[in-house]
Chain A
Amino acid sequence: MALPLPPNVSAADFRSALGEFTAAIGAQWVFTTEEDVMLYRDSYSIFWGEAEERIASAAVAPASVEQVQQIVRIANKYKIPLYSISTGRNLTYGGSSPTLRGSVIVDLKRMNKILAVDEKRHFALVEPGVSYFDLYNYIRDNKLKVMLDIPDPGWGSPIGNSLDHGVGYTFGPFRDHFGSHCGMEVVTAEGEIIRTGNGAIPNTDAWQDYHYGAGPTVDGLFAQSNFGIVTKMGFWLMPLPETYLNGKVLVPRYQDFQALVEEVSYLEDSFLIGMPQFGSPAGGALLEPPPPELGPLMQSGWPTQDQIDTYLRTTNKAAWSVTLQFYGPEETVRANWSAAKRRMAKAIPSATFQDGIFFPLPVPPEAEQNLLQPVKTAVGIPSLEIFFITTRNPMTDADPWDGHADFFAFVPRTAKAVHEASRLFYDVYREFGLPTFHNPFFTPVNYYSRSYVVATLVPTWRDPVKNARSRELFGRLVDRCGERGWGSYRTSPAFQERVVSKYSFNNSALLRFQEKLKDGIDPNGILSPGRYGIWPANMRRNRA
């Protein structure tokens, strides 16, 4: 497969630009051969091998902010589209491939310094190439008393992950990775360096202590967008808790899910628990095929309430469960678990409780490997285990997938919304004649503490025919959820315009505003054109 040229750029100009990139950062760090550039191919691409696959034209790997500035200036001169990545592991959301085919990847992997980890003020300041593993190992090796909130898999980077609104698994404020950042340094499309928050004060020693600075906050403009290349970012960290404890609540009655949701939300919003993990003993584990006994229940379509109740009586399994996680001194975690049980027992008299595990933190290095998931992730220990858990999956049995495109609908924290969304997903899969793990016992994921995610993983393949079907399925899910008023928090370039099109209030006033900003900030449209539907004026094909 030949590498594409950047759109609207002549071969001669492209050659000149590559020559200037080479002069700026060294030939070793300008990648132009097919086998080098194809390393940035999205392994999970839903357009694999098709004309619309987002293939880069070249890649550059600068080592410093100054080199990033030089690259941006050269790109402006030749109107070359750039696409910046930090660690570039955004699998399911585009991997390391650009939104616009023919863009030049700016791979920031060489900018990999941990600039500060402060265990007294609880923050870190890092460059884009620092992975969660790097930061974790640094904290552990230096015995620093802070805990990371990590996403799965751990090979991503705090900067890349948070700039795509990535999420983790501990306490609410830290699970929101962009929300827990404090201060960034950005190279703009004109090649200027700006610092946000307190960082705009020269020689400040309080950059990671106050995030707003004075005047309008612009940080949000640099996430899921194309307004700048972020070269440093600060993150607030949780002080290392003294201990971790978990316990499980089991709820027999289907109808008590709302009461459970309310109690969990109370605990979560009062900062008494970390990430709640919902489950359904009667319905099976999340993202796994339903237990065999559920087959007859689902045989004639979505069951009635009576059928569900009968099913629960015969299987004698609890309808719902939630694992609550507590972090802090032993006295407080035990007291919080007691308080949670007391409140739950009052709200749901038939609820029962199981004490889980308790251990002091940090986990000694030699004990880490004995810690099972999801607890390992819940105490901030990065791994790649998620691949080993999810990739031998009965759902993919006969015909293993090559990847997946995740669709996460964000719904209100109510039982009604969760059931309705699960039903919507189920119906869409049935329209396509595909098996689905959505059933009346489907449970939400609470990544962002104030909303629920009802999730599905749409398979991707090396096979264009199967991919076409997956694309149609994905698109239908986006549309149906959009009609219902539910959006998706994040998606791959293949669906970004479609997802953004659902945020259309007042004739897409929000997108039009973002486009005006784009025109002013990046008049040549060189930075990540098309990301999240924001196209430069000369490529704005999405609207009249």
Chain B
Amino acid sequence: MVNRRTLLKLGSVGMAVAVAQAPARAFGSTLLGDSTGLARAVFDERFAEAQAFASVFQSRGMPTTGIRGDVAALWYRDLKARLLERRLPIVGLTDRTALFCLEELARDVGMKVQGRIDHTFDQGGALTHQVTGPSAWTAAGHRLGSQQGFGRVMASLLTDPTLHGESFAAQKHTGPFSAVDRKQLVSWWIA
């Protein structure tokens, strides 16, 4: 049940690249190359950063699905059956509520949130990132900086096997609520 196996599977799709430092290189052809390593990249099409995140996966022919908030149709009409058949990681850039719902639903197929980076835009537009997950993520998260454009960087980060590890900390880290006066998005990895 521990996800070392799935990690390795995901790991096999890419190579170790310090993506946050060199995002352009991270989109190189060897990364994201094997569409069997990932069940789905999920993005909330209402947010530009999430669209950018998705474009990386799409450009590599990876299975990508857009949502607009509610994940129910995606889960009940598609993902649940697939993941019951073959448990492969899913990654995403969504709002916190979508991650909350997917996290609760993932229990039904024995999968867990392994890591998450919460991205918060305050009222003035300033951006901060809070990393919860394997220790390697923390360093990568710090390198994200306060610039917009993190969606593409996150897409690369989420496929970097060296940054994955097991972490219990990210599990059920928050509830689904977000502040109204801030935009709170989250990049995540469920395996």
Binding site for B on A (CB under 8 A): 28, 31, 33-36, 38-41, 43-44, 87-89, 91, 96, 109, 131, 133-134, 137, 154-155, 382-385, 387-388, 391-394, 396-403, 460, 462
Contacts and interface: CB of A to CB of B under 8 A. Distances in A.
B144 interface: no
A400 B112 contact: no
Contacts of B184: 400
21 contacts: A31-B1, A33-B1, A39-B107, A40-B107, A41-B171, A43-B172, A44-B175, A155-B105, A384-B70, A384-B71, A384-B72, A387-B176, A391-B96, A391-B97, A394-B180, A396-B177, A397-B179, A400-B178, A401-B177, A403-B175, A462-B174
Contacts of A462: 173-174
B104 to A, nearest CB: 7
Interface in B93-117: 96-97, 100-101, 104-105, 107-108, 110, 112
B112 A388 contact: no
Contacts, number: 98
Interface of B: 1-2, 69-72, 76-77, 96-97, 100-101, 104-105, 107-108, 110, 112, 166, 168, 171-181, 184
A401 B112 CA distance: 22
Contacts of A109: 108
Nearest to B1: A36
B20 to A, nearest CB: 26
Contact of B100 (A131, A387, A460): A387
Contacts of B174: 402, 462
Nearest to A396: B177
Contact of B2 (A33, A44, A401, A402): A33
A492 to B, nearest CB: 14
Contacts of A399: 179
Contact of A155 (B72, B77, B96): B72
Given A33-B2, A400-B184, 13 more contacts: A34-B168, A137-B77, A155-B105, A383-B70, A387-B176, A391-B96, A391-B178, A396-B177, A400-B175, A400-B178, A400-B179, A401-B177, A402-B177
B14 to A, nearest CB: 24
Contacts of A131: 76
A41 B103 CA distance: 12
A155 B1 contact: no
Interface of B is mostly: loop
B42 to A, nearest CB: 14
B72 A154 contact: yes
Nearest to B110: A36
A43 B100 contact: yes
A371 B108 CA distance: 28
Contacts of A388: 69-70, 97
A402 B175 contact: yes
Interface of A is mostly: loop
A131 B76 CA distance: 10
Given A33-B2, A402-B177, A134 B76 contact: yes
A372 B42 CA distance: 24
B159 to A, nearest CB: 22
A43 B77 contact: no
Contacts of A88: 107
Closest 7 CB pairs of A and B: A402-B175, A400-B177, A133-B76, A388-B69, A39-B107, A403-B175, A391-B176
A43 B168 contact: no
A39 B112 contact: yes
Contacts of A43: 100, 104, 172, 175
A43 B103 CA distance: 10
Nearest to A154: B72
A431 to B, nearest CB: 25
Given A33-B1, A36-B1, A133-B76, A41 B177 contact: no
A385 B77 CA distance: 16
Contacts of A391: 96-97, 100, 175-178
A41 B172 contact: yes
A31 B77 CA distance: 27
Contacts of B175: 43-44, 391, 400-403, 460
A403 B172 CA distance: 11
Q: Which among A89, A154, A384 has the greatest number of chain B C-beta atoms within 10 A?
A: A384
A490 B177 CA distance: 23
Nearest to B172: A43
A518 to B, nearest CB: 30
